[in-house]
Structure 1
Amino acid sequence: MGAEDELLVAVHDAHSEALYRYVARRTGDAEEARDVVQETLLRAWRNPAVLQRSDEGVRAWLFTTARNLVIDDLRSARRKREYATESPPEHSRADQTRADQTQAVLDSWVVADALLALSPDHRAVVVGAYYGGRSVNELARELEIPPGTVKSRLHYGLRALRLALQEKGVTS
């Protein structure tokens, strides 16, 4: 072991416990305090001139460095956006409802886009029957066409809609 390593061991033995207590009080987290002490000693090891100072100078440098590390961590974006927990949060019913609504909105966009691929006559019958909830006879009166034509347009319109959805990647 070199002279610098022996100095670092001596600094560790002399100051690590007090440094740990200081950081633990500032952070309130034992694991984080250990990490900060380790990083502080690593920085001291990388900066050998620090280890050459008097005992009071080394101690002041260690505590100042640890304090700055704690402050930097508190200001970091990680601290502002991440929260440590013992277990992952459970999804609430509101989250599930929101997810279900999102999928429904996306599905409606795909269907609306596929409906645009239909001819206006087929689209009018399909939308009237499925979205308007109207019967064949009601659609026949409304569109002024025979009920058989409504049935035929509905059949071929749904077939064209199925093909348009398959082209968009929706499987039947």
Structure 2
Amino acid sequence: MLRASDEPPAGRAARMTALHADHARAVLRLLLLLTRDQRQTAEDLLQETMLRAWRHLDAVPTEPDAARRWLLTVARRLVIDGVRLRRGRPTEVHLVDMTWVPAGDDTTGAALASHAIRRALGRLSPAQRALLSEVYLVGRSPKEVAGRLGVPVGTVKSRTHHALRALRTGLEAA
């Protein structure tokens, strides 16, 4: 029987590509759930999960369901490790001023912030609103959005950048 470490590099690469293609979406969904929809953090953790799978390809089961369980376990443990690490570190300083965001019990502040966001979104074109909704609310990747719209990925990224800039400008005006 051939172990993964005895496989030629091309076979290892093909196996890793198949693992990613078959399971990355499910792992990302779990990570989004565990990180409370912090997409950037979830994507970073997905990348670390796949990196660990690559490093320990011998340990990843060959049966698809078992491989998925292995990847989900690694991802969950990475989230737990991240939480433990943050508990032991001082609070990070954020570069973005979030003081305008109301506290959970500030209903007036929440209403004002909600109104400001609605007004800023209302100033965007329908295409910009739809694009931001696809990327940030639905959670589709730029590649998926590009496929849906029939445009290059770079165009989606550029339009997303411009839509976010317009939204920021609308929020500053509000």
TM-score bin (small chain): 0.3 to 0.5
What TM-score, normalized to structure 1? 0.47
Which structure: greater helix fraction?
1
